[in-house]
């Protein structure tokens, strides 16, 4: 899979831009605030139908305008695919594949997978459990279209259960049978989600370790695990055991909406004991492992978006990463850096097709390597 052309209209700081991309490595160099991350976010839109920054769509409309359009011409399994995303203030988002509106935009997720490595990923380490669950949900839904609908159903039943607990508290009467029906539905959906997430993390773990070892030079040992109360008890047992507590709390205190990912370095939490460079290496290894996992599961190499990945890393780690990026293991890569010398270093090592672009105040210009 590859993106051949990216066109933007009123997207963030780009008034109008159209870029012909390399099938291999695409390097974007420019000063801070030039719009490099915005370009990667536009690509994220075409894959995931929303901003990587999770912001509302209207914030991606260029200041002073009232709509934006992002369009991409892809080649997927020898077929051309034109993806269009348009957002106008006050209207709902229009998302089209080859000129045809999607009935449900969520049906698009997984068609053109993407892996985004970003400085904003730090919330996967120092953020709340919710940030890590969002990450899990976003990755697994690219792998398995049924997962997203199961998750939507789970959240719907969870809302119903919480509403019922509140009503029962206010009415001073709880019908055990109503709760039992809700619990049964929630357990069935929750167990499916637990199994899918656990399978993903268990299979990701050895790949994650390998990438960490390669980039760090084997200086530390890391591990990743899925942290869930469902590991020791079934969801039905957990709901039953917390029924009294939930009545008083008026919400559901157990379930997969409380789960987390555990990241350790030499046996201790990365969040507490990892240095900034180690934390960054963990995030990069996690995302590269995700890339391998998705490639194998879907039989397509996702687009790899690498935003400012070298910051905070020592020379040895930077060199190892350059080896990875310049190699043949990944498909189409998009990499941003404010340091042109570093990008030149990567381009010199790259044997395959590549292009260098300069980004300046919302303009993108293709330049020759030696310029
Ligand atoms: N809706 C918008 N309309 C106009 N400009 C916007 C909008 N949203 C963000 N910007 C501008 O985009 C710029 C940030 O772009 P971006 O994050 O892509 O920079 P960058 O090149 O990646 O910089 P850095 O090297 O610092 O990471 C800022 O100048 C910001 O004001």
Report the top-level CATH class of 126-299: mainly alpha
What does 204-243 look like in DSSP terms, one character per residue?
HHHHHHHHHHHHHTSSS-EEEEEE-GGGTS-HHHHHHHTH
Neighbouring CB atoms inside 10 A of 85's CB total 23
Tokens coding 110: 């997984």
pTM of the predicted model as reported, rounded to 2 decimal places: 0.90
Question: Whose CA is closest to 214, among 288, 292, 129?
Answer: 288
Instruction: State the pLDDT at residue 369.
Output: 56
Residue 338 in contact with ligand 1 by CB distance below 6 A: yes
Neighbouring CB atoms inside 10 A of 114's CB total 22
Helix 176-216 vs helix 145-171: crossing angle, to nearest 10: 140
Residue 56 CB contacts under 8 Å (≥ 6 apart), including other chains: none
Q: Best mutation site among 16, 27, 37, 305 for ligand 1, i.e. most ligand atoms within 8 A of its Cβ?
A: 37
For range 279-287, the mean pLDDT: 96
Residue 287 in contact with ligand 1 by CB distance below 6 A: no
For range 177-202, the mean pLDDT: 97
Dump pLDDT digits (tens) for 106-163. 889 889 999 999 999 999 999 999 999 999 998 998 888 899 999 999 999 999 999 9
Residue 335 in contact with ligand 1 by CB distance below 6 A: no
Which H or E run contains 307?
strand 303-307
CA–CA separation, 191 vs 228, rounded Å?
A: 11
Tokens coding 226: 């899925």
Instruction: State the pLDDT at residue 342.
Output: 87
At residue 254, the 3 state secondary structure works out as coil
Q: Best mutation site among 34, 58, 65 for ligand 1, i.e. most ligand atoms within 8 A of its Cβ?
A: 34
Checking 364-371 for CB contacts under 8 A at 24+ apart, the result is 364/14, 364/17, 364/19, 364/28, 364/35, 364/39, 366/19, 366/20, 369/344
Dump pLDDT digits (tens) for 15-66. 999 999 999 999 999 999 999 999 999 999 999 999 998 789 999 999 999 9
- pLDDT of 178 above 70: yes
Is the dihedral angle over the CA atoms 121, 124, 128, 134 positive or is it negative? Answer: positive
How does the average pLDDT of the chain come out, rounded? 94
Residue 10 in contact with ligand 1 by CB distance below 6 A: no
Residue 30 in contact with ligand 1 by CB distance below 6 A: yes
Residue 44 in contact with ligand 1 by CB distance below 6 A: no
Instruction: State the pLDDT at residue 326.
Output: 84
Tokens coding 96: 């089209």
Residue 113 CB contacts under 8 Å (≥ 6 apart), including other chains: 1, 47, 142, 294, 298, 300, 302, 303
State the complex-level ipTM.
0.98
List, in sequence order, the alpha helices (H) in the chain: 36-48, 123-126, 129-143, 145-171, 176-216, 235-241, 243-249, 270-273, 276-298, 315-326, 340-349
Tokens coding 121: 């990923």
Instruction: State the pLDDT at residue 370.
Output: 55
Q: Phi/psi at 146 (nearest 5 deg)?
A: -65, -25
Percent of the chain with pLDDT over 90: 85
CA–CA separation, 94 vs 62, rounded Å?
A: 17
- pLDDT of 361 above 90: no
Ligand 1 atom showing the smallest separation from residue 40 Cα: 18
Predicted confidence band of residue 302 (pLDDT cuts 50, 70, 90): very high
Percent of the chain with pLDDT over 70: 99
Rounded to the nearest angstrom, the distance between the alpha carbon of 127 and the centre of ligand 1 is 23
Of 106-115, 253-262, 346-355, least confident by mean pLDDT is 346-355
Topology adopted by domain 1-113+303-371: Rossmann fold (3.40.50)
For range 87-112, the mean pLDDT: 94
Residue 306 near residue 333 (C-beta atoms within 8 A): yes
Instruction: State the pLDDT at residue 288.
Output: 95
CA–CA separation, 311 vs 318, rounded Å?
A: 9
Helix 176-216 vs helix 315-326: crossing angle, to nearest 10: 100
Instruction: State the pLDDT at residue 349.
Output: 86
Instruction: State the pLDDT at residue 220.
Output: 92
Dump pLDDT digits (tens) for 214-251. 999 988 999 999 999 999 999 999 999 999 999 999 99
- pLDDT of 264 above 90: yes
What does the chain come to in residues? Answer: 371
Domains of the chain, residue spans: 1-113+303-371, 126-299
């Amino acid at each position: 899979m590859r993106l051949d052309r990216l066109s933007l209209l009123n997207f963030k700081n780009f008034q109008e831009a159209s870029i012909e991309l390399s099938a291999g490595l695409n390097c974007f160099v420019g000063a801070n605030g030039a719009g490099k991350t915005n370009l990667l976010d536009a690509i994220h839109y075409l894959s995931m139908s929303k901003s990587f920054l999770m912001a509302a769509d209207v914030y991606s409309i260029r200041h002073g305008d009232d709509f934006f359009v992002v369009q991409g011409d892809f080649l997927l399994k020898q077929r051309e695919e034109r993806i269009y995303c348009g957002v106008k203030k006050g209207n709902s988002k229009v998302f089209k594949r080859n000129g045809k509106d999607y009935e449900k935009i969520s049906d698009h997720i997984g068609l053109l997978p993407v892996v985004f490595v970003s400085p904003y990923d730090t919330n996967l380490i120092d953020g709340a459990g919710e940030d890590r669950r969002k990450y899990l949900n976003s990755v697994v839904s690219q792998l398995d279209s049924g997962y997203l609908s199961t998750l939507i159903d789970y959240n719907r039943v969870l809302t119903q259960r919480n509403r019922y607990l509140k009503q029962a508290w206010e009415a001073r009467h709880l019908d055990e049978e109503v709760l039992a029906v809700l619990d049964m539905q929630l357990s069935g959906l929750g167990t499916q989600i637990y199994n899918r997430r656990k399978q993903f993390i268990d299979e990701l773990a050895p790949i994650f370790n390998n990438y960490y070892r390669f980039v760090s030079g084997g200086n530390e040992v890391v591990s990743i695990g899925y942290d869930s109360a469902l590991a020791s008890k079934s969801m039905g047992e957990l709901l039953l055991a917390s029924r009294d507590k939930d009545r008083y709390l008026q919400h559901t205190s157990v379930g997969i909406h409380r789960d987390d990912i555990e990241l350790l370095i030499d046996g201790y939490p990365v969040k507490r004991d990892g240095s900034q460079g180690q934390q960054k290496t963990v995030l990069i290894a996690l995302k590269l492992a995700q890339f391998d996992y998705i490639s194998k599961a879907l039989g397509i190499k996702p687009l790899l978006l690498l935003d400012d990945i070298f910051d905070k890393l020592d020379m040895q780690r930077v060199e190892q990463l350059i080896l990875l990026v310049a190699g043949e293991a990944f498909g189409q890569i998009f990499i941003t850096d404010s340091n042109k010398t570093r990008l030149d270093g990567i381009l010199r090592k790259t044997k395959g097709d590549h292009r260098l672009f300069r980004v300046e105040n919302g303009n993108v210009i293709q330049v020759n390597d030696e310029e």
